């Protein structure tokens, strides 16, 4: 396995740890592509997040075309600065292919970058994952998933588990031979065994998803919902009260019946 440069953690140690604690990942390490987040070290957090907004909810090819048009609106032909984004007219951004929601998100990102809420790269590397999530989700249109992708593919953080990511959830179902996707809380609990390298484990869940192909993964069902027992059902639960209700019911049903009068309903 070739070393990946400029990662802020020891990849060999991560793979060894995961392979030792999880046979499924050990198999995926042998069968799939090695971990490589392909980090663009030239991008600032602002630039990475601006691009992520452009790519939200559309195909990669369409997003790349739109983002190229946005860069063409800059005086430098590169990613527009926060000041340029704020100065660009909504009509021009609409013409580039952005929706109204994405335009508002980009302008909010630009303003919060100027205000210092969105950190520089130098500031970001000193902040914890939790601090970055708290800051960045304050930007319109930036949710937890977008921040998680930023932590993984821009900062190379080692212990990020995107519990709402479709590829990770379906990859988990493939890897562990499940017919249904896990609930986010279920995946979070399962992922405790992968600490402190949940990012690398997530990578191999994505690879499991890709390896299986869409024909197989489309058959994976949604998460199973937990059945909520009715409070009115005396047969549910094992509490002292529930047992007392069941016992009373049994005694009543086994008691000798008296003959009803014709006036009884």
Residues classed as catalytic: 165
3-state secondary structure 81-138: CHHHHHHCCHHHHHHHCCCHHHHHHHHHHHHHHHCCCCCCHHHHCCCCHHHHHHHHCC
Distance CA 93, CA 76 (A): 17
CA dihedral 241, 247, 251, 254 (to 10 degrees): 140
Distance CA 149, CA 229 (A): 38
The count of other CB atoms within 10 Å of the CB of residue 133 is 19
User: How far from 184 is each of 45, 161, 191, 228, CA to CA, in Å?
Assistant: 27, 10, 10, 18
Distance CA 69, CA 63 (A): 10
Distance CA 110, CA 131 (A): 19
Distance CA 36, CA 102 (A): 29
Distance CA 152, CA 18 (A): 17
């Amino acid at each position: 396995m070739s070393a990946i440069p400029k990662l802020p953690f020891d990849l060999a140690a991560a793979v060894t740890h995961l392979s030792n604690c999880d046979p499924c990942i050990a198999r995926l390490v042998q069968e799939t592509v090695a971990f490589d987040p392909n980090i663009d070290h030239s991008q600032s957090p602002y630039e990475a997040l601006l691009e992520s907004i452009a790519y939200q909810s559309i195909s990669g090819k369409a997003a790349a075309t739109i983002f190229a048009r946005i860069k063409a609106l800059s005086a430098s032909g590169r990613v527009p600065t926060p000041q340029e984004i704020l100065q660009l007219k909504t009509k021009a951004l609409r013409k580039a292919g952005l929706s109204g929601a994405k335009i508002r998100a980009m302008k909010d990102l630009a303003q919060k970058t100027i205000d210092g809420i969105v950190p520089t790269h130098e500031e970001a590397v000193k902040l914890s994952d939790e601090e970055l999530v708290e800051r960045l989700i304050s930007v319109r249109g930036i949710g937890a998933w977008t921040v998680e992708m930023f932590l993984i593919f821009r900062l190379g953080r080692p212990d990020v588990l995107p519990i709402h990511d479709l590829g990770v959830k379906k990859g988990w179902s493939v890897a562990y031979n499940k017919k249904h996707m896990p609930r986010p809380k279920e995946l979070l609990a399962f992922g405790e065994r992968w600490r402190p390298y949940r990012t690398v484990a997530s990578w191999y869940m994505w690879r499991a998803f890709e390896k299986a192909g869409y024909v197989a993964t489309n058959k994976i069902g949604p998460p199973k919902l937990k059945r909520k027992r009715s409070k009115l059902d005396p047969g549910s639960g094992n509490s002292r009260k529930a047992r007392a209700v069941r016992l009373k019911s049994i005694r009543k049903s086994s008691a000798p019946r008296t003959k009803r009068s014709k006036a009884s309903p």
